[in-house]
Amino acid sequence: MFLLDTHMHFDLYDNREKVLEEIEQSCSYTIAVTNLPELYARYQQQLDWNKYKYCRLALGLHPELVAKYGNQIDGFIEMLPYARFIGEVGLDFTSNDVQQRKSQMQVFQRIIDECSKSGNKILSIHTRKAAKETLQIMASFSGRAIFHWYSGSLKDLREALERGYFFSVNHQMLKSESGRKIVDSIPIERILIESDAPFTKGLESHYSLFFVERVYEYLSNARHIGEEQLSRIIKKNFKELLE
């Protein structure tokens, strides 16, 4: 089975270095997102990333933190040339605060503009209750992007697919009818696997890879594909993302 986690927060565990060691020992290809540029800078300095073959650190500025830490966007842009993986970034409109939404859109627009200029970036995108606005801002972006834990409309999902974006699926999405409907609407060649640990059930206090098996089992049954063939497809999808 091809092990993959394209969106997880290793730094939110107390034993973060042990988490990275477990990832290496399991040979699980992993994108470790960050929520702030200052955290990305801290972990780049504290850890020797050359010894990690399977895990890559992503430069992020989480939309829910923009209201308080939006001034870190300048630091984000300074570090952007040195980061291939970008995340977690995007929009989150769970709040009705107009100013917060405006600030998020301004910051995300700048991130997209700068990533477009730099090229060769792979983005992990947060779209909660803001898929339409996310797609509007990304209209000029032609790079690789993963819509993480997508919960928006099927109409916006189809537009994202038309643009060639990927979707990362976690085991918690499979627990609700709406989540399964979304997963069932994504072509198998656009599906990647994530955990969003430690924000998903079973991963709150300890990181493990059981979620990969759960996602494989569901997709195998829903698409009538053997797990060996499914593993090859997911691996191919990930390789395409990296091209």
Report, in this order, helix, strand and coil percent for the chain, each rounded to 5: 55, 15, 30
Query: Is residue 8 pLDDT above 90, yes or no?
Result: yes
Across residues 167-174, what is the average pLDDT? Answer: 98
Percent of the chain exceeding pLDDT 70 equals 100
Burial class of residue 119 (count of CB atoms within 10 Å of its CB; 0-12, 13-18, 19+)? exposed
- Residue-wise pLDDT for 189-198, tens only, equals 999 999 999 9
Q: How far apart are CA 234 and CA 192, in angstroms?
A: 6
Q: Is the pTM of this model over 0.85?
A: yes
Beta carbons of 182 and 150 less than 8 angstroms apart: yes
Dihedral of CA atoms 185, 33, 8, 157 in degrees, nearest 10, equals -10
CA distances from 55 to 134, 143, 218 (A): 27, 21, 25
Across residues 5-17, what is the average pLDDT? Answer: 97
Percent of the chain exceeding pLDDT 90 equals 99
Q: How far apart are CA 206 and CA 23, in angstroms?
A: 12
- Residue-wise pLDDT for 73-107, tens only, equals 999 999 999 999 999 999 999 999 999 999 999 99
Number of other CB atoms surrounding residue 58 within 10 Å: 23
CB-facing half-sphere around the CA of 237: CA atoms within 13 A: 28
Across residues 176-187, what is the average pLDDT? Answer: 98
Answer positive or negative: Cα dihedral of 128, 72, 117, 85.
negative
For the domain made up of 4-242, the CATH class stated in words is alpha beta
Number of other CB atoms surrounding residue 180 within 10 Å: 14
pLDDT of residue 142: 85
- Residue-wise pLDDT for 20-57, tens only, equals 999 999 999 999 999 999 999 999 999 999 999 999 99
Q: Which two tokens stand for residue 191?
A: 């599906």
pLDDT of residue 150: 98
Q: Which two tokens stand for residue 81?
A: 């040339």
Dihedral of CA atoms 197, 198, 204, 206 in degrees, nearest 10, equals 70
Q: What does the mean pLDDT of the chain come to? A: 97
Q: Where are the domains of the chain?
A: 4-242
Beta carbons of 207 and 224 less than 8 angstroms apart: no
